[in-house]
Structure 1
Amino acid sequence: MRIEAVLLALCLPGMAQAVTCRDDSFEGASYSVCAVSPEEDLRLFLNGPEGPYGSFAAVETALAAKGQKLAFAMNAGMFHSDLSPAGLYIENRQQKMRLITSEGPGNFGLLPNGVFCAGEGFAIIESRAFKASPPECRYATQSGPLLVIDGALHPMFVPGSDSFNYRNGVGVAEDGRALFAISNDAVNFHAFARYFRDVLGVKNALFLDGSISRLYAPELDRDDMGFPMGPIVGVVTARD
Protein backbone atom coordinates (compact mmCIF):
# COMPACT_ATOMS: atom_id res chain seq x y z
CA MET A 1 0.00 0.00 0.00
CA ARG A 2 2.87 2.41 0.73
CA ILE A 3 4.19 2.35 -2.86
CA GLU A 4 0.73 2.64 -4.37
CA ALA A 5 -0.13 5.59 -2.13
CA VAL A 6 3.04 7.46 -3.05
CA LEU A 7 2.52 6.99 -6.78
CA LEU A 8 -1.11 8.04 -6.58
CA ALA A 9 -0.15 11.13 -4.64
CA LEU A 10 2.52 12.02 -7.18
CA CYS A 11 0.48 11.99 -10.36
CA LEU A 12 -2.90 10.51 -11.20
CA PRO A 13 -3.62 9.74 -14.88
CA GLY A 14 -5.34 12.63 -16.61
CA MET A 15 -4.16 15.33 -14.21
CA ALA A 16 -3.51 18.65 -15.94
CA GLN A 17 -0.23 19.39 -14.20
CA ALA A 18 2.90 18.72 -16.23
CA VAL A 19 4.76 17.69 -13.10
CA THR A 20 3.55 16.67 -9.66
CA CYS A 21 5.93 17.15 -6.72
CA ARG A 22 5.62 16.27 -3.06
CA ASP A 23 7.68 16.13 0.10
CA ASP A 24 8.23 12.78 1.75
CA SER A 25 10.20 11.13 4.53
CA PHE A 26 11.96 7.82 4.96
CA GLU A 27 13.75 6.53 8.05
CA GLY A 28 13.84 10.00 9.58
CA ALA A 29 15.24 11.75 6.49
CA SER A 30 13.36 14.28 4.36
CA TYR A 31 12.99 13.88 0.60
CA SER A 32 11.29 15.73 -2.24
CA VAL A 33 10.17 13.83 -5.34
CA CYS A 34 8.71 14.95 -8.67
CA ALA A 35 6.94 12.70 -11.18
CA VAL A 36 7.10 13.35 -14.92
CA SER A 37 5.02 11.44 -17.47
CA PRO A 38 6.52 10.48 -20.86
CA GLU A 39 4.02 12.78 -22.60
CA GLU A 40 5.62 15.90 -21.08
CA ASP A 41 8.26 18.05 -22.77
CA LEU A 42 11.28 16.93 -20.76
CA ARG A 43 14.61 18.31 -21.98
CA LEU A 44 18.26 18.54 -21.04
CA PHE A 45 20.04 21.89 -20.98
CA LEU A 46 23.76 22.55 -21.07
CA ASN A 47 24.89 25.52 -23.19
CA GLY A 48 23.20 28.75 -24.19
CA PRO A 49 24.40 31.40 -26.66
CA GLU A 50 26.96 32.67 -24.14
CA GLY A 51 28.20 29.33 -22.81
CA PRO A 52 26.99 26.97 -20.09
CA TYR A 53 23.68 27.89 -18.48
CA GLY A 54 24.95 26.93 -15.04
CA SER A 55 21.70 27.75 -13.23
CA PHE A 56 17.94 27.29 -13.32
CA ALA A 57 17.55 31.08 -13.65
CA ALA A 58 19.59 31.16 -16.86
CA VAL A 59 17.45 28.41 -18.39
CA GLU A 60 14.30 30.26 -17.32
CA THR A 61 15.53 33.45 -18.98
CA ALA A 62 16.23 31.62 -22.25
CA LEU A 63 12.82 29.95 -22.22
CA ALA A 64 10.99 33.17 -21.37
CA ALA A 65 12.18 34.68 -24.66
CA LYS A 66 10.25 31.90 -26.40
CA GLY A 67 7.10 32.22 -24.28
CA GLN A 68 7.98 29.14 -22.24
CA LYS A 69 8.93 28.31 -18.66
CA LEU A 70 10.18 25.49 -16.46
CA ALA A 71 7.63 23.41 -14.58
CA PHE A 72 10.42 21.52 -12.82
CA ALA A 73 14.20 21.22 -13.01
CA MET A 74 17.09 19.41 -11.36
CA ASN A 75 20.82 19.02 -11.87
CA ALA A 76 21.25 16.11 -14.28
CA GLY A 77 24.56 14.35 -13.86
CA MET A 78 28.20 14.83 -13.00
CA PHE A 79 30.41 17.33 -14.77
CA HIS A 80 33.94 18.69 -15.01
CA SER A 81 35.24 22.04 -13.75
CA ASP A 82 34.30 23.68 -17.08
CA LEU A 83 30.71 22.35 -16.56
CA SER A 84 31.05 19.85 -19.42
CA PRO A 85 29.38 16.45 -18.80
CA ALA A 86 31.46 13.66 -17.28
CA GLY A 87 29.91 11.08 -19.59
CA LEU A 88 27.41 10.59 -22.39
CA TYR A 89 25.27 13.62 -23.09
CA ILE A 90 22.66 13.83 -25.85
CA GLU A 91 20.59 16.95 -26.40
CA ASN A 92 17.80 17.05 -28.99
CA ARG A 93 19.28 13.90 -30.61
CA GLN A 94 22.73 15.50 -30.90
CA GLN A 95 25.52 13.73 -28.99
CA LYS A 96 27.69 16.29 -27.21
CA MET A 97 29.81 13.94 -25.08
CA ARG A 98 30.78 10.29 -25.56
CA LEU A 99 29.79 7.30 -23.46
CA ILE A 100 32.31 6.24 -20.78
CA THR A 101 32.30 2.52 -19.92
CA SER A 102 35.63 2.11 -18.08
CA GLU A 103 35.95 1.95 -14.32
CA GLY A 104 37.35 5.09 -12.76
CA PRO A 105 37.64 7.22 -9.63
CA GLY A 106 34.76 8.77 -7.75
CA ASN A 107 31.09 7.94 -7.79
CA PHE A 108 30.82 8.16 -11.58
CA GLY A 109 33.36 5.37 -12.04
CA LEU A 110 31.81 3.07 -9.44
CA LEU A 111 30.52 0.49 -11.91
CA PRO A 112 27.91 -0.33 -12.85
CA ASN A 113 26.88 3.18 -13.79
CA GLY A 114 24.16 4.06 -16.27
CA VAL A 115 22.30 6.35 -18.63
CA PHE A 116 18.95 8.06 -18.26
CA CYS A 117 17.37 8.07 -21.72
CA ALA A 118 14.33 10.08 -22.78
CA GLY A 119 13.02 8.90 -26.15
CA GLU A 120 9.66 7.32 -26.88
CA GLY A 121 9.56 6.82 -23.12
CA PHE A 122 11.95 6.95 -20.20
CA ALA A 123 14.57 4.31 -19.42
CA ILE A 124 17.60 3.77 -17.23
CA ILE A 125 20.16 1.55 -18.91
CA GLU A 126 23.46 0.18 -17.62
CA SER A 127 26.26 1.89 -19.58
CA ARG A 128 27.80 -1.21 -21.17
CA ALA A 129 24.38 -2.50 -22.15
CA PHE A 130 23.71 0.92 -23.68
CA LYS A 131 26.93 0.64 -25.71
CA ALA A 132 26.07 -2.87 -26.89
CA SER A 133 22.62 -1.85 -28.11
CA PRO A 134 22.19 1.94 -28.24
CA PRO A 135 18.54 3.01 -28.03
CA GLU A 136 17.04 6.05 -29.69
CA CYS A 137 17.32 8.89 -27.16
CA ARG A 138 16.20 12.40 -27.83
CA TYR A 139 17.90 13.33 -24.57
CA ALA A 140 20.35 11.28 -22.49
CA THR A 141 22.69 11.82 -19.57
CA GLN A 142 25.18 9.39 -18.08
CA SER A 143 26.00 9.31 -14.40
CA GLY A 144 26.81 6.87 -11.68
CA PRO A 145 26.59 4.73 -9.83
CA LEU A 146 23.33 2.98 -10.57
CA LEU A 147 21.29 2.96 -7.37
CA VAL A 148 18.88 0.14 -8.19
CA ILE A 149 19.58 -2.51 -10.82
CA ASP A 150 16.65 -4.74 -11.80
CA GLY A 151 15.31 -4.46 -8.26
CA ALA A 152 18.65 -5.02 -6.49
CA LEU A 153 20.79 -2.40 -4.79
CA HIS A 154 24.23 -1.60 -6.19
CA PRO A 155 26.54 -4.32 -4.77
CA MET A 156 29.03 -1.80 -3.34
CA PHE A 157 26.54 -0.03 -1.08
CA VAL A 158 27.09 -0.60 2.65
CA PRO A 159 24.10 -0.33 5.03
CA GLY A 160 26.11 1.28 7.83
CA SER A 161 28.24 3.56 5.69
CA ASP A 162 29.18 6.89 7.29
CA SER A 163 29.43 8.59 3.86
CA PHE A 164 26.54 11.02 4.24
CA ASN A 165 25.62 13.67 1.70
CA TYR A 166 22.70 15.41 0.06
CA ARG A 167 21.87 13.35 -3.00
CA ASN A 168 19.61 13.37 -6.04
CA GLY A 169 18.70 10.76 -8.63
CA VAL A 170 16.09 9.45 -11.03
CA GLY A 171 14.13 6.23 -11.30
CA VAL A 172 11.57 4.95 -13.78
CA ALA A 173 8.28 3.66 -12.37
CA GLU A 174 6.35 0.66 -13.63
CA ASP A 175 3.84 2.97 -15.33
CA GLY A 176 6.64 4.69 -17.29
CA ARG A 177 6.91 7.92 -15.32
CA ALA A 178 10.30 9.31 -14.36
CA LEU A 179 10.62 9.94 -10.62
CA PHE A 180 13.21 12.56 -9.71
CA ALA A 181 14.10 12.56 -6.02
CA ILE A 182 16.37 14.69 -3.86
CA SER A 183 17.29 14.16 -0.22
CA ASN A 184 16.81 17.23 1.94
CA ASP A 185 18.98 15.65 4.62
CA ALA A 186 22.36 13.99 4.28
CA VAL A 187 21.96 10.24 3.64
CA ASN A 188 24.25 7.41 2.56
CA PHE A 189 23.96 5.55 -0.74
CA HIS A 190 22.30 2.51 0.80
CA ALA A 191 19.45 4.54 2.30
CA PHE A 192 19.02 6.64 -0.85
CA ALA A 193 18.82 3.54 -3.05
CA ARG A 194 16.32 1.89 -0.71
CA TYR A 195 14.14 5.00 -0.88
CA PHE A 196 13.89 4.53 -4.63
CA ARG A 197 13.30 0.78 -4.43
CA ASP A 198 11.21 0.38 -1.28
CA VAL A 199 9.24 3.63 -1.18
CA LEU A 200 8.98 4.72 -4.83
CA GLY A 201 8.88 1.13 -6.05
CA VAL A 202 11.27 1.48 -8.99
CA LYS A 203 13.34 -1.39 -10.34
CA ASN A 204 16.02 0.84 -11.85
CA ALA A 205 17.37 4.12 -10.53
CA LEU A 206 20.41 6.27 -11.27
CA PHE A 207 22.41 8.56 -8.99
CA LEU A 208 22.81 12.02 -10.48
CA ASP A 209 25.02 13.84 -7.95
CA GLY A 210 25.71 14.66 -4.32
CA SER A 211 26.64 18.00 -2.75
CA ILE A 212 25.65 19.88 -5.94
CA SER A 213 22.10 18.49 -5.70
CA ARG A 214 19.45 21.14 -6.38
CA LEU A 215 15.76 21.29 -7.25
CA TYR A 216 13.49 23.78 -8.96
CA ALA A 217 9.87 22.97 -8.10
CA PRO A 218 7.38 25.89 -8.05
CA GLU A 219 4.75 23.54 -6.64
CA LEU A 220 6.92 23.21 -3.52
CA ASP A 221 7.99 26.88 -3.58
CA ARG A 222 11.49 25.63 -4.23
CA ASP A 223 14.28 27.27 -6.26
CA ASP A 224 17.63 26.03 -4.93
CA MET A 225 20.69 28.13 -5.64
CA GLY A 226 24.41 27.43 -5.41
CA PHE A 227 27.55 26.95 -7.44
CA PRO A 228 27.19 26.65 -11.26
CA MET A 229 25.86 23.31 -12.55
CA GLY A 230 26.62 21.33 -15.68
CA PRO A 231 23.71 19.41 -17.26
CA ILE A 232 20.21 20.40 -16.13
CA VAL A 233 17.03 18.40 -16.71
CA GLY A 234 13.70 20.16 -16.85
CA VAL A 235 10.12 20.04 -18.06
CA VAL A 236 9.10 22.88 -20.36
CA THR A 237 5.59 24.33 -20.55
CA ALA A 238 3.98 27.45 -22.03
CA ARG A 239 3.98 30.59 -19.92
CA ASP A 240 0.66 31.64 -18.44
Structure 2
Amino acid sequence: MTAIPTHARPHAAPGATTLAVTARVLRQLRHDPRTIVLLLVVPSLLLGLMDALWTGQPQVFDRVGLVMLAIFPFVVMFLVTSIAMLRERTSGTLERLLTTPLPRPALLLGYGAGFGLAAAVQAAVTTAVGFGLLGLETAGPLGWVVLIAMVDAVLGVALGLLCSAFARSEFQAVQFMPVVVLPQVFLCGLLVPREQMAGWLQAISDVLPLTYAVDALQEVGSSSAATGRMGLDLAVVAGGALLALVLAAATLRRRTS
Protein backbone atom coordinates (compact mmCIF):
# COMPACT_ATOMS: atom_id res chain seq x y z
CA MET A 1 0.00 0.00 0.00
CA THR A 2 1.03 3.59 -0.52
CA ALA A 3 2.10 5.27 2.70
CA ILE A 4 0.23 8.36 3.82
CA PRO A 5 2.48 11.42 3.67
CA THR A 6 3.65 12.58 7.08
CA HIS A 7 1.86 15.89 6.71
CA ALA A 8 -1.38 14.02 5.95
CA ARG A 9 -1.52 12.28 9.35
CA PRO A 10 -3.77 13.18 12.28
CA HIS A 11 -3.69 16.78 13.61
CA ALA A 12 -2.44 18.16 10.28
CA ALA A 13 -4.29 21.24 9.02
CA PRO A 14 -7.11 20.33 6.61
CA GLY A 15 -5.67 22.60 3.93
CA ALA A 16 -2.23 21.00 4.16
CA THR A 17 -3.73 17.51 4.11
CA THR A 18 -5.87 18.33 1.09
CA LEU A 19 -2.78 19.54 -0.73
CA ALA A 20 -0.97 16.35 0.28
CA VAL A 21 -3.77 14.22 -1.18
CA THR A 22 -3.69 16.30 -4.38
CA ALA A 23 0.07 15.86 -4.68
CA ARG A 24 -0.27 12.13 -4.07
CA VAL A 25 -2.83 11.78 -6.87
CA LEU A 26 -0.57 13.66 -9.27
CA ARG A 27 2.42 11.47 -8.33
CA GLN A 28 0.38 8.33 -8.99
CA LEU A 29 -0.69 9.61 -12.39
CA ARG A 30 2.87 10.58 -13.26
CA HIS A 31 4.09 7.05 -12.59
CA ASP A 32 1.31 5.41 -14.62
CA PRO A 33 2.31 5.65 -18.31
CA ARG A 34 -0.83 3.91 -19.56
CA THR A 35 -3.07 6.41 -17.82
CA ILE A 36 -1.00 9.29 -19.17
CA VAL A 37 -1.43 7.92 -22.69
CA LEU A 38 -5.17 7.54 -22.12
CA LEU A 39 -5.41 11.10 -20.83
CA LEU A 40 -3.18 12.98 -23.23
CA VAL A 41 -2.76 10.91 -26.39
CA VAL A 42 -5.91 8.89 -27.02
CA PRO A 43 -8.36 11.85 -27.26
CA SER A 44 -6.07 13.60 -29.73
CA LEU A 45 -5.73 10.43 -31.80
CA LEU A 46 -9.50 10.00 -31.88
CA LEU A 47 -9.91 13.61 -32.93
CA GLY A 48 -7.37 13.00 -35.71
CA LEU A 49 -9.34 9.94 -36.80
CA MET A 50 -12.48 12.06 -37.06
CA ASP A 51 -10.57 14.59 -39.16
CA ALA A 52 -9.54 11.78 -41.51
CA LEU A 53 -13.14 10.55 -41.76
CA TRP A 54 -14.33 13.94 -42.97
CA THR A 55 -11.43 14.81 -45.25
CA GLY A 56 -12.72 17.36 -47.73
CA GLN A 57 -15.65 18.26 -45.47
CA PRO A 58 -14.16 20.82 -43.07
CA GLN A 59 -17.57 22.19 -42.10
CA VAL A 60 -18.62 18.79 -40.77
CA PHE A 61 -15.37 18.34 -38.84
CA ASP A 62 -15.63 21.85 -37.39
CA ARG A 63 -19.12 21.08 -36.08
CA VAL A 64 -18.57 17.54 -34.78
CA GLY A 65 -14.95 17.99 -33.72
CA LEU A 66 -15.85 21.02 -31.63
CA VAL A 67 -18.49 19.03 -29.74
CA MET A 68 -16.07 16.16 -29.18
CA LEU A 69 -13.81 18.55 -27.29
CA ALA A 70 -16.46 18.38 -24.58
CA ILE A 71 -17.26 14.69 -24.87
CA PHE A 72 -13.73 13.21 -24.94
CA PRO A 73 -12.50 14.83 -21.67
CA PHE A 74 -15.78 14.00 -19.95
CA VAL A 75 -15.69 10.31 -20.88
CA VAL A 76 -11.98 9.74 -20.26
CA MET A 77 -11.89 11.52 -16.90
CA PHE A 78 -14.98 9.64 -15.71
CA LEU A 79 -13.31 6.33 -16.52
CA VAL A 80 -9.91 7.20 -15.02
CA THR A 81 -11.31 8.75 -11.85
CA SER A 82 -13.87 6.05 -11.03
CA ILE A 83 -11.32 3.25 -11.36
CA ALA A 84 -8.54 5.12 -9.53
CA MET A 85 -10.81 5.98 -6.61
CA LEU A 86 -12.02 2.40 -6.40
CA ARG A 87 -8.41 1.23 -6.12
CA GLU A 88 -7.90 3.65 -3.23
CA ARG A 89 -10.69 1.92 -1.34
CA THR A 90 -9.79 -1.67 -2.16
CA SER A 91 -6.14 -1.08 -1.25
CA GLY A 92 -7.08 0.32 2.17
CA THR A 93 -5.45 3.69 1.51
CA LEU A 94 -8.74 5.53 1.75
CA GLU A 95 -9.51 3.76 5.03
CA ARG A 96 -6.29 5.06 6.55
CA LEU A 97 -6.91 8.58 5.30
CA LEU A 98 -10.38 8.56 6.85
CA THR A 99 -8.89 7.76 10.26
CA THR A 100 -7.41 11.28 10.29
CA PRO A 101 -9.39 14.34 11.46
CA LEU A 102 -9.61 15.50 7.84
CA PRO A 103 -13.28 16.13 6.90
CA ARG A 104 -14.59 13.99 4.06
CA PRO A 105 -15.38 17.01 1.84
CA ALA A 106 -11.77 18.19 2.21
CA LEU A 107 -10.52 14.71 1.33
CA LEU A 108 -12.73 14.60 -1.77
CA LEU A 109 -11.52 18.08 -2.63
CA GLY A 110 -7.95 16.76 -2.63
CA TYR A 111 -8.83 13.94 -4.98
CA GLY A 112 -10.97 16.23 -7.10
CA ALA A 113 -8.22 18.84 -7.34
CA GLY A 114 -5.61 16.25 -8.35
CA PHE A 115 -7.73 14.68 -11.05
CA GLY A 116 -9.07 18.11 -11.97
CA LEU A 117 -5.58 19.38 -12.74
CA ALA A 118 -4.99 16.33 -14.91
CA ALA A 119 -8.33 17.03 -16.60
CA ALA A 120 -7.30 20.62 -17.31
CA VAL A 121 -4.06 19.48 -18.95
CA GLN A 122 -5.92 16.91 -21.01
CA ALA A 123 -8.49 19.44 -22.21
CA ALA A 124 -5.76 21.95 -23.09
CA VAL A 125 -3.74 19.37 -25.03
CA THR A 126 -6.74 18.08 -26.98
CA THR A 127 -7.86 21.62 -27.82
CA ALA A 128 -4.34 22.57 -28.94
CA VAL A 129 -4.15 19.53 -31.22
CA GLY A 130 -7.59 20.21 -32.66
CA PHE A 131 -6.97 23.84 -33.50
CA GLY A 132 -3.20 23.80 -33.99
CA LEU A 133 -2.63 20.58 -35.94
CA LEU A 134 -5.98 19.54 -37.36
CA GLY A 135 -7.21 22.93 -38.49
CA LEU A 136 -10.37 23.01 -36.39
CA GLU A 137 -12.04 26.39 -36.72
CA THR A 138 -14.69 28.18 -34.71
CA ALA A 139 -16.35 31.57 -34.84
CA GLY A 140 -16.03 32.27 -31.12
CA PRO A 141 -13.09 32.86 -28.77
CA LEU A 142 -10.67 29.96 -28.40
CA GLY A 143 -10.35 30.68 -24.70
CA TRP A 144 -13.97 29.75 -24.20
CA VAL A 145 -13.42 26.43 -25.95
CA VAL A 146 -10.56 25.59 -23.58
CA LEU A 147 -12.52 26.72 -20.52
CA ILE A 148 -15.62 24.71 -21.43
CA ALA A 149 -13.54 21.61 -22.16
CA MET A 150 -11.79 21.94 -18.79
CA VAL A 151 -14.99 22.39 -16.78
CA ASP A 152 -16.57 19.46 -18.61
CA ALA A 153 -13.54 17.31 -17.79
CA VAL A 154 -13.95 18.26 -14.13
CA LEU A 155 -17.59 17.17 -14.41
CA GLY A 156 -16.31 13.76 -15.53
CA VAL A 157 -14.02 13.69 -12.50
CA ALA A 158 -16.86 14.52 -10.11
CA LEU A 159 -19.22 11.92 -11.56
CA GLY A 160 -16.42 9.36 -11.51
CA LEU A 161 -15.82 10.00 -7.81
CA LEU A 162 -19.53 9.68 -7.13
CA CYS A 163 -20.04 6.45 -9.08
CA SER A 164 -16.95 4.82 -7.56
CA ALA A 165 -18.75 4.78 -4.22
CA PHE A 166 -21.28 2.28 -5.58
CA ALA A 167 -18.85 -0.11 -7.27
CA ARG A 168 -17.13 -3.08 -5.66
CA SER A 169 -14.74 -3.87 -8.50
CA GLU A 170 -13.16 -2.16 -11.49
CA PHE A 171 -15.52 -4.09 -13.74
CA GLN A 172 -18.50 -2.64 -11.88
CA ALA A 173 -16.99 0.84 -12.16
CA VAL A 174 -16.82 0.45 -15.93
CA GLN A 175 -20.43 -0.76 -15.95
CA PHE A 176 -21.54 2.69 -14.86
CA MET A 177 -20.50 4.10 -18.24
CA PRO A 178 -23.61 2.82 -20.09
CA VAL A 179 -25.77 4.17 -17.26
CA VAL A 180 -24.17 7.55 -16.56
CA VAL A 181 -22.07 8.47 -19.60
CA LEU A 182 -23.69 7.06 -22.75
CA PRO A 183 -27.19 8.50 -22.20
CA GLN A 184 -25.61 11.94 -21.90
CA VAL A 185 -23.67 11.42 -25.12
CA PHE A 186 -26.78 10.20 -26.97
CA LEU A 187 -29.02 13.03 -25.73
CA CYS A 188 -26.63 15.99 -25.72
CA GLY A 189 -27.54 17.04 -29.26
CA LEU A 190 -24.57 15.50 -31.07
CA LEU A 191 -26.42 12.69 -32.87
CA VAL A 192 -29.81 14.38 -33.25
CA PRO A 193 -30.63 18.07 -32.69
CA ARG A 194 -32.43 18.36 -29.38
CA GLU A 195 -35.36 20.21 -30.91
CA GLN A 196 -36.03 17.16 -33.11
CA MET A 197 -36.22 14.76 -30.16
CA ALA A 198 -39.45 13.50 -28.63
CA GLY A 199 -40.69 15.63 -25.77
CA TRP A 200 -39.79 13.13 -23.07
CA LEU A 201 -36.27 12.79 -24.46
CA GLN A 202 -35.88 16.55 -24.45
CA ALA A 203 -37.00 16.58 -20.81
CA ILE A 204 -34.31 14.05 -19.90
CA SER A 205 -31.73 15.97 -21.92
CA ASP A 206 -32.59 19.14 -20.00
CA VAL A 207 -31.34 17.66 -16.71
CA LEU A 208 -28.11 16.15 -18.06
CA PRO A 209 -25.09 18.44 -17.54
CA LEU A 210 -23.24 17.31 -20.67
CA THR A 211 -26.08 18.82 -22.70
CA TYR A 212 -25.09 22.29 -21.51
CA ALA A 213 -21.40 21.77 -22.26
CA VAL A 214 -22.26 20.77 -25.82
CA ASP A 215 -24.70 23.68 -26.13
CA ALA A 216 -22.02 26.09 -24.93
CA LEU A 217 -19.54 24.82 -27.52
CA GLN A 218 -22.14 25.00 -30.26
CA GLU A 219 -22.75 28.59 -29.23
CA VAL A 220 -19.01 29.27 -29.45
CA GLY A 221 -19.04 27.73 -32.92
CA SER A 222 -21.74 30.08 -34.18
CA SER A 223 -21.06 33.34 -32.30
CA SER A 224 -17.97 35.48 -32.77
CA ALA A 225 -18.24 36.98 -29.28
CA ALA A 226 -18.94 35.59 -25.82
CA THR A 227 -22.65 35.47 -25.03
CA GLY A 228 -24.72 35.20 -21.88
CA ARG A 229 -25.88 31.78 -23.01
CA MET A 230 -22.29 30.50 -22.94
CA GLY A 231 -21.87 31.72 -19.38
CA LEU A 232 -25.18 30.23 -18.27
CA ASP A 233 -24.37 26.86 -19.83
CA LEU A 234 -20.93 26.86 -18.22
CA ALA A 235 -22.46 27.68 -14.83
CA VAL A 236 -24.85 24.73 -15.14
CA VAL A 237 -21.97 22.35 -15.93
CA ALA A 238 -19.94 23.69 -13.02
CA GLY A 239 -22.98 23.37 -10.76
CA GLY A 240 -23.46 19.77 -11.85
CA ALA A 241 -19.83 19.02 -11.00
CA LEU A 242 -20.19 20.66 -7.57
CA LEU A 243 -23.38 18.72 -6.84
CA ALA A 244 -21.69 15.45 -7.81
CA LEU A 245 -18.78 16.22 -5.46
CA VAL A 246 -21.17 16.96 -2.59
CA LEU A 247 -23.02 13.69 -3.18
CA ALA A 248 -19.71 11.85 -3.46
CA ALA A 249 -18.65 13.21 -0.06
CA ALA A 250 -21.98 12.12 1.44
CA THR A 251 -21.67 8.56 0.09
CA LEU A 252 -17.92 8.13 0.62
CA ARG A 253 -17.09 4.78 2.20
CA ARG A 254 -13.77 3.77 3.70
CA ARG A 255 -13.24 0.67 1.62
CA THR A 256 -14.95 -1.90 -0.54
CA SER A 257 -15.36 -5.31 1.04
Structure 2 length-normalised TM: 0.26
Larger strand fraction of residues: 1
Bigger CA radius of gyration: 2
Larger helix fraction of residues: 2
